[in-house]
Amino acid sequence: MSMPPPPPPIPPGYQAYQAQTGTPQFSSWGARVGGHILNGLAAILFGLPSIIAFFAGPREYQACTVNDRPGICKLPTSAGWTIIIVLGVVGLVAFAVVYGRAIASSGQFWGHKAAGVRIVDARTGGNIGAGRAVARYIIGHWIDGIVCYLGYLWPLWDSKKQTFADKIFSTYSVRA
């Protein structure tokens, strides 16, 4: 009794994941500062509707004191304050979502792209998640600035060029 021929071999699949070898090219302190400043300017864009509402919203005259002298000031009404606060919260949430998604997908927000900087996970070299990116931006950079902004200066003498935020959230800032 004759047997049918064996089936053809299965074609090879994708290559196995290979971890990056060597040390990553850490970004310079100047590039980090430039990217951070540009990101801050981008964040202001998300708050612009609230700022405009503050200056252009409904106003009323109220008694106030200016330089220890009584006077009359033109201040936003309660409806005006409501508009300002709602627009501010919406802008803050929108910035957090856009920033988090950008860092999670490419490791770069607008300022990072312009400065040639990318935020990566220190353990894997891959992108960090959106929640971790937003927490790093808000909590980590608050810690960087809490003691005379020492955390922002730390990359100048750290061997891995990390801020306190990078150390806490296990990230590196590398050249893009």
Q: Do the Cβ atoms of 84 and 50 come closer than 8 Å?
A: yes
19 assigned to some structural domain: no
Is 21 a member of any domain? no
Report yes or no on 71 lying in a domain.
yes
Residue 164 lies in a domain: yes
Give pTM, 2 decimals: 0.79
Please check whether residue 109 lies inside any domain of the structure: yes
Whether 106 maps to a domain, the answer reads yes
1 located within any domain: no
Tens digits of pLDDT across the chain (176 residues): 677 888 777 666 655 445 555 678 999 999 999 999 999 999 999 999 999 999 999 999 989 888 889 989 888 999 999 999 999 999 999 999 999 999 999 999 999 999 999 999 999 999 999 999 999 999 999 999 998 999 999 999 999 999 999 999 999 999 99
What domain count does the chain have? 1
CB neighbourhood size of 118 (10 A): 21
- Residue 160 belongs to domain spanning: 29-175
For residue 59 the two structure tokens come to: 């106003």
